[in-house]
Structure 1
């Protein structure tokens, strides 16, 4: 982190980079705990711990058993788990969320944030984005966003028994926001003699905002803040966009802070964000009974003295008895699809489907957390078909695949699937490397030489072995939300679609800190690629 200036310390945003949207936070003593949406990935709802709101380390996943996370085999990308809320009450942790693919709203509880967390307690409530708040007499209120559609009624509130999930009082309308689309992500807080209802509205794209209202009781009537929206970057040139879906927390010293999601679009207009919606942190001030926030900057004042934690290692050598908690898979991870004991120190993956283009494949990966990144594995593919993939969805991914004595770069973009480049590889284990590098490295002169604007937010390069020349380089915009749609970000992972493959290690980190940096020092051709470039490409998509 950064050195103090004028007595204050500073931190860099986002505080949890990569695909970590819809953050919710609670404090227990001097410890903070935060959860995020996980959508179609298993295990679900990553949970983080911090001592200073800036340095976060993932300590597990709330939904780490199939019984907690029933997802249909054909669950679509960006379905699954939406918008969790985490709270600590009466000595227990409570997490409430929505499974939009199966079951609706439910909550789980735990004595310790690392778990184990209980099986789901389902609530007979419609809508999404549920929240829990307790009154002084123990009454539990559940606020949620009403079902979208022609009968959308904004935020509703119900009185519930969180232990059983029973609805004690039918939902009643609370607040429909300021008139923008999709009032959602409600959080209720008791501050002094007022109840405050924080929401997001305007849609989770560039028009995203944070608004707030207050009332003397959760039953209303609700008074909208005179300065609403209290946070929005819409229509600005700010490098941080889509600010919304926020939660508030206080420090032991009584300071107020906000966690929220936002994006960092890059490239030529309309710009593209590829890492997904990320978790940011910003200070909150109170004036005349209302919170005042923002703008949210890439460099912010930090909350008091920073207390860095030991960072999680970027390399996994597969020596543990269970998968590292940052490793995720689409929809499920059947016991028969992986093993850490078949070959000591290796992750074995067994094919459960013949393609990454449809559900049912064997894929284990990590969220891409660095705009300029290096991901590497040591793969022993045997006689099977396996590799390393950059995945946004089943319909949008780039693969570096080894099979039949060849390494291939394959691009799947919507209805198009093409082998971009191939190269012979020797039998036995092989190192595969995927790097991403910002398109800002190109100069105006290089853009004009190519005859095109460099529209890409980044370029994705694919290496085999220790060869510094990439097998191919592809334009990263096609693995962005603006192209692929949805709510997730890139996940880079290991896969097998035929037979069995073994992975000795998996390493993901920032490009500048990459071990063996000779692989990533001079990767760029004299002119920027239009879609892909390779000395071995038989055909390119333009």
Structure 2
């Protein structure tokens, strides 16, 4: 009897919460890319597009075991962190998950969007059949860290904090079984010569203790290729060995318009390292700013050798829109590398880059097919009813599972009492903006109970720069509202009273710098709210930081929009 009463009380409580909770159901999400560059450059059978990962997938690092390639990217405050991709041919890539997928590994709950995970490096050690991922976590007091696994498809270890300062660590396994870590750091105290002066350090690494060897550190590059020219931000180092020589490849010039990749050579992993005479070996900084199909900011590269002895390099670069806005962020590009001479050379990496590359021999382009990641002008449809979310859906500063529930009707978001401007976990499910011009639409079943309740779409560059397009309530009436937040200050662009039926379709249409926010009550005829608005606040050059814009399905019980 007592158990029966308890069950009845519990059921009543659940029903009360359900009926009094303003949770909303999102369904039938559609995203479609409409970039002119792909329409004007259709692929032939022996071609593929670069970037291979469109949207905010910066700082790529790559490794190989046998015929399997693995690639990772920076993820900042996104959760889960460090997306990881697998390929057997360098053209067709599948996302197999995230390296940092547990709260114990990723402490970004109080991080700004451009904090968190910087510049991960992935490497395979053939001597112990183990993969290592080393990165800097600028959050949670962690700093430089390393995780490892025998199989990247089966999860990674807990975090091992590394005992050194600086950023951008990478690991190198020598053929004598020794290991080293190289990274960016500040010059010794009192020796800084100019703003942006940095150094590259190397440490011996103890594979048994998974820790750098205390006292083994030394500077192997001071400033950059030529310190008399005051080069800035030597960073993103990677160490390689070929034909008995050691090669140190680094980014130089800052991750903007002067970005480049440079290389040094030595007889020892600890130097002295001598810069190549033909540096940089990759850059786009020398060309007219109004060039067609412009690729810019190229650098932060990593190399991989194929089983047949060829080389390829992955790197970040950007493609700005007609107003030079960088809304899609830093993307992952690839080029073949000629290493038949002393130094590696990125093929066509020192001329204006083209959108298409020749396919490696014997490879068939399967992008956007058979589970492979899409590129070009693709369409992504998700009814949001599957219990297993697509890997491209991510949250901000905390696990998705903390606020989502999958139902037979779609994805239920249980709103947090934080809104999109909080430097805290927010109840929003994001995917990256992957085109300059696109359409994104979602169906929403939601009836807010108060002005504090809001649900809809957000276009999000950071907690301080974003648009929110959603449904809320004022007195007894329902309203659709468009809010713009710039430098943390919000203004209502437009609002309109609506009569709520069961579902409303929300749509954002971008054409370069122009964004439009539309809604439909019948799924056929769309009404615009607020006219054409600028995408300036969604661009890195306006908002700052290192990320691209995200498109989010968003809900909050702490709406503060005013109109």
Which of 83, 100, 107 is equivalent to 2:146? 107
How big is each residue's C-alpha offset from its partner over 1:379-437, in whole Å with a ceiling of 9 and x where there is no partner?
Answer: 12232411110000011111111112221111112244222222314232211111212
Q: CA deviation at 1:458?
A: 4.1
Tell me, yes or no, if structure 1 residue 252 matches structure 2 residue 307.
yes
How big is each residue's C-alpha offset from its partner over 1:113-133, in whole Å with a ceiling of 9 and x where there is no partner?
Answer: 223111111110111111111
Q: CA deviation at 1:195?
A: 0.7
Cα 1:198/1:458, change in 2 over 3 Å: farther
Cα 1:100/1:432, change in 2 over 3 Å: same
Matching residue of 1:347:
411
Matching residue of 1:60:
97
Tell me, yes or no, if structure 1 residue 426 matches structure 2 residue 500.
yes
Does structure 2 retain, via aligned residues, the 8 Å contact 1:24–1:259?
Answer: yes
Q: How does 1:100-499 map to 2 (within 5 A)?
A: 100-101=138-139, 102-147=141-186, 151=192, 153-169=198-214, 170-176=216-222, 177-178=224-225, 179=227, 180-237=231-288, 238=291, 239-268=294-323, 271-293=324-346, 294=349, 295=351, 296-309=353-366, 310=370, 311=372, 314-333=380-399, 335-340=401-406, 343-360=407-424, 361-383=426-448, 384-404=453-473, 405-423=478-496, 424-438=498-512, 457-465=513-521, 466-472=524-530, 473-498=532-557
Consecutive unaligned residues in structure 2, runs of 5 or more = 1-41, 374-378
Q: CA deviation at 1:335?
A: 4.4
Cα 1:499/1:226, change in 2 over 3 Å: closer
Name the CA distance, whole Å, in 2 between partners of 1:100 and 1:147.
16
Does structure 2 retain, via aligned residues, the 8 Å contact 1:409–1:421?
Answer: yes
How big is each residue's C-alpha offset from its partner over 1:272-292, in whole Å with a ceiling of 9 and x where there is no partner?
Answer: 111000000111112530111
Name the CA distance, whole Å, in 1 between partners of 2:365 and 2:465.
36
Q: Which has the higher contact order (CA 8 A, sep 6+)?
A: 2
Cα 1:334/1:12, change in 2 over 3 Å: closer
Cα 1:499/1:80, change in 2 over 3 Å: closer
Name the CA distance, whole Å, in 2 between partners of 1:107 and 1:10.
37
Q: CA deviation at 1:27?
A: 1.6
SS of 2:217's equivalent? strand
Name the larger-Rg structure: 2
Cα 1:499/1:79, change in 2 over 3 Å: closer
Name the CA distance, whole Å, in 2 between partners of 1:198 and 1:461.
44
Does structure 1 retain, via aligned residues, the 8 Å contact 2:251–2:300?
Answer: yes
Cα 1:168/1:386, change in 2 over 3 Å: same
Further displaced range: 93-102 or 327-336: 327-336
Consecutive unaligned residues in structure 1, runs of 5 or more = 439-456, 501-537
Q: CA deviation at 1:356?
A: 1.1
Cα 1:425/1:128, change in 2 over 3 Å: farther
TM (normalized to structure 2)? 0.80
Q: CA deviation at 1:173?
A: 0.7
Name the CA distance, whole Å, in 2 between partners of 1:463 and 1:189.
53
Name the CA distance, whole Å, in 2 between partners of 1:354 and 1:168.
43
Cα 1:252/1:336, change in 2 over 3 Å: closer
How big is each residue's C-alpha offset from its partner over 1:199-230, in whole Å with a ceiling of 9 and x where there is no partner?
Answer: 00100011100000011110111110110111
Q: CA deviation at 1:168?
A: 1.8
SS of 2:186's equivalent? coil
Cα 1:345/1:29, change in 2 over 3 Å: farther
